[in-house]
Amino acid sequence: MTKFNELNLNPKVLKAIEEAGYESPTPIQEGAIPAALEGRDVLGIAQTGTGKTASFTLPMITLLARGRARARMPRSLVLCPTRELAAQVAENFDTYAKHLKLTKALLIGGVSFKEQDALIDRGVDVLIATPGRLLDHFERGKLLLTGVQIMVVDEADRMLDMGFIPDIERIFSLTPFTRQTLFFSATMAPEIERITDTFLSAPTRVEVARQATASETIEQGVVLFKGGRRDREASAKRKVLRALIDAEGEKCTNAIIFCNRKTDVDICAKSLKKYGYDAAAIHGDLDQSQRMKTLDGFRDGSLRLLVASDVAARGLDVPSVSHVFNFDVPGHPEDYVHRIGRTGRAGRDGKAITICSGRDEKALAAIEKLIQKEIPRLDNPVQSEEPKAKEDAPKPERKAKPTDAKKSETRKSDRKKDKEPKGRGRRDDKGPAVVGMGDHMPSFIALSFDERRAG
């Protein structure tokens, strides 16, 4: 098995790796690090949790160990789709570069431009940014990208989902064509493949076998949920979630609860807090300082339940998450793997439970097709009480209705009335029915033929 000390990394980087407790590289690190150290472009294809962050931060730090940054001209650039992932890359950089005098700046939304400008003005070796905030600084004339030697694009498929691809293309055009590019993605959509063909030069392709399923240490289950009345479905679903958390008891030391929409994240978190659960929300519309405070609380154990949108599904490394609850079935099957991959990390046991309503059954089938196994069905801990109440409730007394014989007799009478002729010949209340013309027959009709002829 390959060791980190066989990869030609800087001795001070190796010391930091050893202090972090790592000995052997993951497959993506083993393939990407040597090529990156040779100055070649790298195209890495691997799912989350495979060690992609270290596969570009370690060679970057080694390559940047010599040299000095100039004001407003960063020597390297790392682009990330979300603020949380960018912050995590910055933490990795701090961990592995602590024995080297390299500087960094983190450019993300929700933080003062003034503070970020001050860092850029002093000059930074590593600039870690989200595309939108990076372009904001560039357009304000506070940043030049002509000195970028190494450019990294992390989670490119997530960039595509979030509509960042035009920004990525523009940023590429602002950097020197002589730069080294390290490009990482979990999947290779046609749009991403077009970018790699355009901006990467003869890249070394490092592809880790697709992670079609989560770790074997994760116990999976799904509760099929029928919500009944549409206006009460969301409330009933939250009741099922609370029952599932309660059923896990002390085994659920902490958990991430995933919702598909930001509004549902807020509603779910408020509902849990209302019922006495220690919960907080995190999604893209929250203030950055609040998001970081919430994440820090979850990491240090002071927060038990983190209710999140998919912004927290990729790249976030919280090693000791005991449970993941999918309040909603994700729309993309790959997101299911990313979500449940937040638990069962580093060889630990984990549990992932999904609540699936009737309209989500197609999405569930797509997930099972991707992971090539059927997710075990679990009993719903909250059986619907409304239908049962209707069955058990005493039936209200009904007014006495005519017997079947009386009904039949009435129907026959009605039919008989309907069949009686109307107009002439109809019986009335004064006497028998009139036959023929009655007393009003004209006298000439009574005459014989000969008498009529003679007359």
Q: What is the pLDDT of residues 388-434, one digit of tens each?
A: 444 344 444 555 555 555 555 555 555 555 555 554 444 444 555 55
pLDDT, residue 391, reads 39
Amino acid, single-letter form, for residue 367: I
Instruction: List 184's β-bridge partners, or say none.
Output: 44
3-state secondary structure (DSSP) of residue 178: coil
In angstroms, the CA 418 to CA 434 distance is 19
Tokens 């066989």: give the residue.
Answer: 6
CATH for 218-392 is 3.40.50.300
Amino acid, single-letter form, for residue 285: D
Helix (H) or strand (E) holding 222: strand 218-225
Rg (CA), the chain: 38
Instruction: List 350's β-bridge partners, or say none.
Output: 218
In contact, 169 and 195? CB cutoff 8 Å: yes
Neighbours of 175 (CB within 10 A): 18
Instruction: List 219's β-bridge partners, or say none.
Output: 351
* Complete DSSP assignment for 111-147: S-HHHHHHHHHH--SEEEE-HHHHHHHHHTT----TT
Tokens encoding 334 = 């790959």
Location of each CATH 3.40.50.300 domain in the chain:
4-207, 218-392
Q: Model-level pTM?
A: 0.65
Neighbours of 378 (CB within 10 A): 16
Tokens encoding 222 = 């799904």
* Pick from 73, 81, 195, 83: nearest CA to 138: 73
Neighbours of 236 (CB within 10 A): 18
Q: Residue 381, class by beta-carbon neighbours within 10 Å (0-12 exposed, 13-18 middle, 19+ buried)?
A: middle
In angstroms, the CA 225 to CA 205 distance is 44
- The ranges of the chain with pLDDT < 70 are 1, 48-49, 209-215, 311-317, 346-347, 383-455
Tokens encoding 213 = 């399923």
In contact, 104 and 90? CB cutoff 8 Å: yes
Query: How far is CA 164 from each of CA 149, 161, 189, 344, 426, rounded to the nearest angstrom?
Result: 22, 8, 14, 31, 89
- DSSP-derived letter for residue 433 is P
The CATH fold assigned to 4-207 is Rossmann fold (3.40.50)
Q: Residue 250, class by beta-carbon neighbours within 10 Å (0-12 exposed, 13-18 middle, 19+ buried)?
A: exposed
